[in-house]
């Protein structure tokens, strides 16, 4: 670009030169934001302020976004570095994300890979990663999708590490160290470490992306995947199909979101009860008591194995012709509990407010949605309390859990809202906004008869 030439080059030609230069570089000179970037980006800044940035080519647009989001830019232009954050739709009053900015940038216990950053710490932080622009970070995870561009010179990878349902877009240039190892190995499910620089994303889908392009950037393939052989695709899979690949299904969006929300609700449960002075009690699972008299229990025994080991055909019998349980492990019939209630009530009558949170079992062959064979159940027991105290506790607990999930797992809930149950988030917001209605048993019966048209 010769300025002051007899006939100055057209702007579009200058932009072409710039685009070509930036195609394999994060900044104009070297590995960091310099005066060169500040100076040139100021000249081009009016493109952005006039809303013309979308007309700039890809690399130039990304570079300009990265520059104007940089803290140093405000020193030059006298403006705050707000545009990037504002553009991402984040605000200071955003609810606490699971990986708030207070979270260290480098995750603990990741020295093995030279220190990795949780992907949520970037894309799910309140500013959607804007404050990290220009920094070099390493992320590890599994490929959700990968596609080539520029005749194989660039690889676009959506990487996920489970810390958020959202992926980080990684742009890997063929000049980056380790690029060649990805050839034919970077299908969905491949395990990678990507070290690159956080830059403003030219696309509207995400605020930032990771650019692996320079000599000091690198990609490491931990485990390659041949896309043709991999049983999980980008498309929707049925729950039944996912059950047939139980070892891989946690990698589906569905199970991932369920796992994150379930973990959050378990945490909320413990926080809620402990903050109110309830003691957590582990009640026995193997029991001789049929707590609720339901009778649908699984038996726990070592007698069948003993019988099979000895090559016998029948279980030991007593003189009365009945099964001789003195030969069983516990010397009497033993079952899996259908409820921890009986045990935890003993604790309640000694230590006042307590709760259990553990697995429970029902051998119901009905295959209805009523009870799974195995499920986790929360059973609080309140001492010196009546039904009103109990209802207050139940309402507070439900609202605490919903609020916790809304604050910490909004991205997961948004995914459920979009893919599984439209209107979910609005329904949860309504649950938080309104006090619960309370009716007597008689009123409830009356309402039901009305709905059934029997009144």
Tell which positions 287-306 bind a second copy, by CB under 8 A. 297-305
Q: Considering only residues 359-378, where is the footprint of a second copy by CB under 8 A?
A: 359, 361, 363, 365, 373-374, 376
Count of other CB atoms within 10 angstroms of residue 428: 18
Query: Of the candidates 27, 47, 254, 347, which one interacts with a second copy according to CB under 8 A?
Result: 347
Q: Is residue 173 a contact point for a second copy (CB under 8 A)? A: no
* 221/243 Cα distance (integer angstroms): 28
Tokens describing residue 5: 């030439």
Q: Is residue 350 a contact point for a second copy (CB under 8 A)? A: yes
Please choose, out of 26-34, 233-241, 383-391, 438-446, the segment that lies near a second copy by the rule CB under 8 A: 383-391
Asked if 83 and 130 count as a contact pair (C-beta separation under 8 A), the reply is no
Q: How far is CA 224 from the centre of its chain?
A: 23
Q: Which is nearer to a second copy, 429 or 436 (CB)?
A: 436
Site mask, a second copy, residues 223-262, x = CB under 8 A?
Answer: -----------------------xxxxxx---xx--xx-x
What is the smallest separation between the CB atom of 16 and a second copy, expressed in angstroms?
A: 41
Q: Which stretch of DSSP H or E encloses residue 400?
A: helix 387-408
Count of other CB atoms within 10 angstroms of residue 303: 16
Q: Which stretch of DSSP H or E encloses residue 446?
A: helix 441-451
Q: Is residue 382 a contact point for a second copy (CB under 8 A)? A: yes
* 137/367 Cα distance (integer angstroms): 49
Q: Which is nearer to a second copy, 148 or 389 (CB)?
A: 389
What is the smallest separation between the CB atom of 234 and a second copy, expressed in angstroms?
A: 15
Asked if 90 and 401 count as a contact pair (C-beta separation under 8 A), the reply is no
Q: Which is nearer to a second copy, 23 or 379 (CB)?
A: 379
Q: How many residues bind a second copy (CB under 8 A)?
A: 93
Q: Which is nearer to a second copy, 86 or 373 (CB)?
A: 373
Tokens describing residue 226: 């041949």
Tokens describing residue 105: 């940038």
Q: Is residue 203 a contact point for a second copy (CB under 8 A)? A: no
Q: Which stretch of DSSP H or E encloses residue 49?
A: helix 35-49
Q: Is residue 111 a contact point for a second copy (CB under 8 A)? A: yes
Q: Which is nearer to a second copy, 55 or 305 (CB)?
A: 305
Q: Is residue 326 a contact point for a second copy (CB under 8 A)? A: no
Pairing of strands 354-361, 279-280: parallel
Tokens describing residue 284: 């026995």
Pairing of strands 286-287, 208-212: unpaired
Q: Considering only residues 419-438, where is the footprint of a second copy by CB under 8 A?
A: none
What is the smallest separation between the CB atom of 23 and a second copy, expressed in angstroms?
A: 30
Query: Of the candidates 174, 358, 378, 431, which one interacts with a second copy according to CB under 8 A?
Result: 358
Tokens describing residue 199: 């830059």
* 233/145 Cα distance (integer angstroms): 9
Q: Which is nearer to a second copy, 16 or 306 (CB)?
A: 306
Q: Is residue 285 a contact point for a second copy (CB under 8 A)? A: yes
Q: Considering only residues 264-283, where is the footprint of a second copy by CB under 8 A?
A: 266-267, 270, 274, 276-277, 279-282
**Helix/strand/coil for 45:** helix
Q: Considering only residues 130-149, where is the footprint of a second copy by CB under 8 A?
A: 140-142
* 261/403 Cα distance (integer angstroms): 12
* 122/225 Cα distance (integer angstroms): 26
Query: Of the candidates 24, 77, 110, 181, which one interacts with a second copy according to CB under 8 A?
Result: 110
């Amino acid at each position: 670009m010769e300025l002051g030439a007899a006939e100055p080059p057209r702007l579009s030609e200058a932009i072409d030169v710039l685009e070509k230069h930036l195609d394999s570089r994060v900044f104009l000179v070297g590995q960091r934001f310099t005066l060169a970037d500040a100076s040139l980006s100021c000249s081009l800044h009016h493109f952005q302020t006039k809303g013309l940035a979308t007309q700039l080519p890809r690399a130039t647009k990304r570079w300009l976004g990265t520059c104007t989001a940089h803290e140093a830019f405000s020193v030059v232009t006298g403006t705050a570095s707000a545009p990037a954050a504002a553009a991402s739709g984040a605000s200071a009053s955003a609810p606490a994300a699971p990986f708030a900015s207070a979270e260290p940038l480098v995750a603990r216990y990741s020295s093995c890979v030279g220190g990795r950053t949780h992907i949520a710490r970037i894309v799910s932080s309140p500013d959607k990663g804007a404050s990290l622009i220009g920094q070099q970070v390493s992320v590890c995870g599994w490929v959700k999708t990968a596609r080539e561009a520029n005749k194989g010179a660039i690889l676009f990878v959506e990487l996920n590490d489970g810390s958020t349902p959202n992926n980080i877009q990684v742009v890997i240039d063929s000049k980056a160290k380790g690029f060649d190892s990805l050839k034919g190995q970077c299908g969905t499910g491949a395990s990678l470490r990507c070290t690159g620089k956080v830059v403003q994303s030219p696309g509207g889908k995400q605020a930032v992306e990771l650019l692996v392009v320079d000599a000091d950037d690198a990609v490491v393939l931990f485990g390659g995947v041949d896309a043709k052989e991999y049983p999980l695709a980008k498309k929707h899979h049925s729950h039944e199909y996912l059950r047939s690949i139980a070892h891989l299904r946690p990698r589906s969006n569905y199970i991932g979101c369920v796992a994150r929300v379930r973990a959050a609700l378990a945490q909320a449960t413990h926080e809620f009860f402990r903050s109110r002075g309830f003691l957590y009690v582990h009640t026995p699972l193997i029991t001789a008591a049929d707590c609720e008299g339901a009778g649908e229990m699984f038996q726990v025994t070592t007698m069948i194995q003993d019988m099979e080991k000895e090559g016998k055909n029948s279980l030991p019998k007593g003189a009365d012709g009945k099964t001789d349980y003195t030969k069983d492990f516990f010397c009497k019939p033993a079952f899996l509990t259908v409820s921890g209630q009986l045990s935890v009530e003993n604790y309640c009558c000694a230590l006042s407010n307590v709760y259990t949170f553990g697995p429970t079992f029902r051998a119901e062959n009905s295959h209805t949605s009523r009870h799974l064979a195995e499920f986790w159940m929360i059973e609080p027991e309140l001492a010196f309390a009546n039904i009103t105290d109990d209802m207050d506790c139940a309402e507070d607990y439900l609202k605490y859990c919903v609020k916790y999930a809304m604050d910490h797992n909004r991205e997961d809930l948004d995914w459920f809202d979009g893919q599984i149950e439209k209107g979910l988030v609005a329904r949860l917001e309504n649950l938080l906004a309104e006090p619960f209605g309370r009716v007597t048993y008689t009123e409830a019966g009356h309402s039901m008869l009305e709905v059934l048209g029997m009144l």
